[in-house]
Amino acid sequence: MKRTVTRLADGRELIYFDRRDDAVRDAVDTRPPDGPPAASELRHDPLLDEWVTIAAHRQRRTFLPGDDACPLCPSAPGRPTEIPAADYEVAVLENRFPAFRPEATGGRCEVVCFSSDHRVSFADLPPAQVRTVVEAWADRTAELSATPGVEQVFCFENRGEEIGVTLHHPHGQIYAYPFVPPRTRQMLRAVRRHAERTGGDLFAELLAAERREGARVVVANELWTAFVPHAARWPFEVHLYPHRRVPDIPALDEAERDAFARLYLDVLDRFDRLFDRPAPYVSAWHQAPVREGRDLAWLHLRLFSIRRAADRLKYLAGSEAAMGAFLNDVRPEEAARLLRAAGR
């Protein structure tokens, strides 16, 4: 894997990831620099003991541009973009409208471009391309975890206008949080309490129970299992677990990375075939925090769609949005059955 680091005109970092060692990435950003991104502000909510990021400058971020104005497509004569190269495999760049910046809040925000082809989605990528993305995730997780002030690295993808995506180009994001987010703290508290009470490993027990029962398993291979959780919050929600406990993506070995690529593409294909249309989804990697709970965490990916039927979406209503108490319209066992049936 070849890794080429360069800078955009405004000083932001851009990294190309290529399978070919002879790839040349010497294109220069010809746009005039427009200065550093504006700063955000972190505010602490004492009632919930949670951090909220105030990022008013993100109101100005690019919103659903036409295909001929996509900022993540390769640059072309007379149309420079965020990616100076005329073509690329996978590219990672500092976000132009970041929620976090080292100079202000701490942390960092990056954009991961999965392909130079504007028309594809992640599900269309060949396994070899997915492996390049996995290498990029691993590289960025390792480097950002070593950055002072970063407490957790979160790799994710939002897909579909229904989810709120503002750029159609196939891409995801990485948030290097300057704090441990609420969901991770809650999860690790539950795992720690279980270990103190029973001496057991809650993650291992949950994975073993799903594999043993099988009713909610969607698909599995020798190293990973994809299943609908027993208490799924979303109509179609699948968790992908490696069979071996690892804290984060960099800890996956080559065989596990290969096996993940095959399984993940299978699951994404099932989501799209479920209602014969592209599924709006959030795909979220849950990795161990940088400094705390690494002995408790178990890397996994959580994928969920807000589409609950061919012509209906699941919106957060009062109970979910106001109280965090979810109501699911689809039985997890039925969701798993439908996803199994959607396989090729």
Q: Which one from 44, 57, 168, 171 is the annotated catalytic residue?
A: 171
Q: Name the residue range of residue 249's domain.
A: 183-341
Do 8 and 114 belong together in one domain?
A: yes
The response to whether 113 counts as a known ligand-binding position is no
CATH (domain of 287): 3.30.428.10
Do 267 and 232 belong together in one domain?
A: yes
Tell me which of 181, 210, 245 is where a domain ends: 181
Number of compact structural domains in the chain: 2
Does the pTM exceed 0.85?
A: yes
The response to whether 118 counts as a known ligand-binding position is yes
Do 175 and 193 belong together in one domain?
A: no
Do 177 and 198 belong together in one domain?
A: no
Do 162 and 192 belong together in one domain?
A: no
C-alpha distances out from residue 135 to 117, 155, 308, Å: 19, 12, 33
Tell me which of 181, 213, 228 is where a domain ends: 181
The response to whether 73 counts as a known ligand-binding position is yes
Spell out the per-residue pLDDT of the chain, length 344, in tens: 999 999 999 999 999 999 999 999 999 999 998 877 778 999 999 999 999 999 999 998 888 999 999 999 999 999 999 999 999 999 999 999 999 998 888 999 999 999 999 999 999 999 999 999 999 999 999 999 999 999 999 999 999 999 999 999 999 999 999 999 999 999 999 999 999 999 999 999 999 999 999 999 999 999 999 999 999 999 999 999 999 999 999 999 999 999 999 999 999 999 999 999 999 999 999 999 999 999 999 999 999 999 999 999 999 999 999 999 999 999 999 999 999 999 98
Do 195 and 168 belong together in one domain?
A: no
Is-catalytic flag, 171?
Answer: yes
Do 122 and 105 belong together in one domain?
A: yes
Do 123 and 147 belong together in one domain?
A: yes
Do 82 and 212 belong together in one domain?
A: no
